[in-house]
Amino acid sequence: MSRIVPPIEQLQRVPLLLLQRLERQGVFTTGLLLEVSETRTRRQTLADQIQVTTNDIHHWRDEALLLNLAGFGPEEQRMFTQAGITGLQELLGLDRETFGQRLERAARTLGMPAPDAVAVDGWYAQARTLEEE
């Protein structure tokens, strides 16, 4: 089963004007953002091209990494946002139990089914793997 890479518009941390600048640079998906910003030099080049700071690029990468977790789509993004998790670093700042509890509470608030333990464990493990890279 192939996975659809989230479009750049799904990033919540990027203002509309800057989304348009990214698109003019050919960055239409979060996967492309991760690719064109994977090294310090590439982050600086992209920041210069769209007139932002490398910190901005870093924050956008953080969110893009979260959106690209396997089994993660728009509904999961809503739930994670409700749980106060909009980037990979926020997820990594939680232990597994707290992470699961926050997602469960967010799902309940949104009136959606809570993710099962397998999904939560998968996201948590993927985040840990990305942290090590």
Range of the domain at 94: 74-132
Task: Record the pTM.
Answer: 0.91
Report, as an integer, the average pLDDT of 98-123.
97
Q: How confident is the model over 56-89, as pLDDT tens digits? A: 999 999 999 999 999 899 999 999 999 999 999 9
In total, how many domains does the chain have?
Answer: 2
Answer whether residue 1 is part of any domain.
Answer: no
Torsion of the alpha carbons at 57, 62, 66 and 69, rounded to the nearest 10: 80
Both 57 and 80 in a single domain? no
pLDDT at 54 over 60: yes
Both 128 and 93 in a single domain? yes
Both 58 and 105 in a single domain? no
Least Cα distance to 127 among 60, 59, 69, 61 occurs for 69
Both 87 and 116 in a single domain? yes
Angle between helices 96-110 and 74-82 (to 10 degrees): 110
Both 63 and 78 in a single domain? no
Answer whether residue 2 is part of any domain.
Answer: no
